[in-house]
Copies of this chain bind each other. A is one copy, B any other.
Amino acid sequence: MQDSLTVTYHIRSTAAEIASRAEGVALEQSVELPRLAVRDPQIVENILGRVASIRPLTAEEGPAQTFEVLIQLARATTGDDPAQWLNMLFGNTSLQSDVLLADVALPEEQLHLFVGPQVGSAGLRALVNGYDRPLTCTALKPQGIPSAQLAELCYTFACAGIDFIKDDHGLANQPFSPFAERVAACQAAVARATAQTGRTSLYVPNLLGGPRTLAEQAHICRDLGVQMVMLEPMLVGLPVMHELVASGLGMAVMAHPAFAGALRIAPDLLFGKIFRLFGADAVIYPNYGGRFTYSPQTCLELAHNLRQPWGPLRTAFPVPAGGMQVDRVGEMVTFYGNETILLIGGSLYMAGDALLERSRTFVDNVRGGTR
């Protein structure tokens, strides 16, 4: 593979099965097809993920052990886009509980595709005039107190000489301390302290919302002379942080880890309720018995949540997927009923030249399986 990146996964497996499991991850993170359905030699040569090495990380304990698996992915598959790059690293495989995304190695020319820190640690030291020592930071809290009181706290911390005084990550644009009012008050408070002490402290407001809200909040901050803001990239979207910075945010960024543990949301809540609340008309999720590990019970509850009456919200379709077979269609229809979109991919492609026929069988089986 000419131009590639190398991704490190930690995989729990038996020694007997690790080679095929590693191959499975390489397929999942590139062509998302069974190996036998990939017949084009150009795809095999240039697109298919390639297992570069496998080595045990732990001794055998019980039935399984942890292996370090390096997989080469073609740079072309990332389209040089940061969002798609994340997708290539850990799109579907993130849903397979035996795999941890451990590391990634990028050739230097690929680093240029990312915006990276625009102020950087040296720039931050210059901003607070703090060299040859660690810098200090605290948070304005609790949410619920008025802006004037937050500003008073901000003033106290600045007088004490703390370098960065950030909003608590729970401070958004709530009625008790609206964003524009709070930022103006706190920014004035640090300026007042600086006038008295001669030392610089930075007030770091928390930006939070959809892209338009973030743009408006950034605008307010720049107008007030704010020099650093806080973002929760896992909450607002990593590609959103990237685009904000790349398009000239003009302020340093402190990233906060909120929501970074989102795997531990019950699937029936995340896919069944939250995705629906946030506007999805149909929600794809890993079906039981496929390449992923959800139970039939979880899948039913998830589907139920999408379909049940819920106040003013329209119902949405469950779309069970992931290793579904044409010959399981009858079972799926019995299990999920009619209010379902059945998604079958790889199993159709396995038909090779009989693709049309296999697809027709899929369609006919669904019509035949109608209750």
Cβ distance A362 to chain B, nearest Cβ, rounded Å:
6
Selected contact of A264 from candidates B99, B112, B280, B336, CB within 8 Å: B99
Query: Given the complex of chains A and B, what is the CA–CA distance between A168 and B133 in angstroms?
Result: 50
Q: Which residues of B contact A145 (CB under 8 A)?
A: 40, 43
A contact residues, total (Cβ < 8 Å): 177
Contact with B along A140-167 (1 / 0, CB 8 A): 0111110000000100110111111010
A141 x B33 contact (CB < 8 A) = yes
Closest B residue to A174 by beta carbon equals B79
8 Å CB contact of A275 from B100, B118, B255: B255
Q: Distance in Å from the Cβ of A166 to the closest Cβ of chain B?
A: 8
A31 touches B172 (CB 8 A): no
Contact B141 A345 (CB under 8 A): yes
Q: Beyond A83-B210, A315-B120, is A164–B341 a contact (Cβ under 8 Å)?
A: yes
Q: Hey, which chain B residues are within 8 Å of A108, CB to CB? A: 311-312
Q: Within the oligomer, what is the number of copies of this chain?
A: 2
Find out whether the CB atom of B164 lies under 8 angstroms from the CB atom of A265: no
- Whether A191 sits at the interface, judged by CB under 8 Å, is no
Contacts A30-B142, A32-B168 known; A338 to B232 CB distance under 8 Å? no
Bound CA–CA A32/B359 (angstroms) = 54
Interface positions, chain A 85-127, Cβ under 8 Å from B, are 86-88, 90-97, 99-104, 108, 111-112, 114-124
- Interface positions, chain A 286-313, Cβ under 8 Å from B, are 286, 307, 310-313
Contacts of A209 in B (CB 8 A): 81, 83-84, 239
What are 20 inter-chain pairs, A to B, with CB distance below 8 A? A32-B141, A38-B142, A42-B144, A43-B142, A76-B175, A83-B209, A84-B209, A87-B208, A87-B232, A120-B315, A121-B339, A124-B282, A135-B366, A136-B343, A136-B362, A137-B342, A162-B362, A162-B363, A233-B278, A253-B282
Question: With contacts A84-B172, A92-B258, A278-B238 known, is A311 near B111, CB below 8 A?
Answer: yes
Interface check A65, CB cutoff 8 A: no
- Whether A219 is near chain B, meaning CB under 8 Å from some CB there, is no
Do A342 and B134 contact each other (CB < 8 Å), given the known contacts A95-B261, A157-B359?
yes
Question: In the bound complex, do residue B124 and residue A281 qualify as a contact, i.e. CB atoms below 8 Å apart?
Answer: yes
Q: How far is the CA of A38 from the CA of B256 in the complex (A)?
A: 23
Which residues on the B side are within 8 Å of A246 (C-beta)?
210, 279
User: In whole angstroms, how far apart are the Cα atoms of A360 and B99 in the complex?
Assistant: 46
Complex alpha-carbon distance, A253 and B268, angstroms: 19
What is the minimal beta-carbon distance from A253 to any residue of chain B, in angstroms? 5
Chain B residue at minimum C-beta to C-beta distance from A153: B355
Chain B residues with CB below 8 A from A263, complex form: 260-264
A273: B residues at CB distance < 8 A: 103-104
CB distance from A189 to the nearest CB of B (A): 13
Are B360 and A160 touching (Cβ within 8 A)?
Answer: yes
Tell me if A328 is interfacial: C-beta within 8 Å of chain B.
Answer: no
**CA A76 to CA B310, docked complex, whole Å:** 22
Q: Are B237 and A254 in contact (CB under 8 A)?
A: no
Give the shortest distance, in Å, between A260 (CB) and chain B (any CB): 6
Shortest beta-carbon distance, A274 to chain B, in Å?
7
**Docked-complex contact B235 and A136, CB < 8 angstroms:** no
CA distance A157 to B181 in the complex (A): 55
The smallest C-beta distance from A114 to any residue of chain B, in angstroms, reads: 4
Closest to A258 in B: B91
Flag A233-260 by CB within 8 Å of B: 1 or 0 each.
1111111111111110100111111111
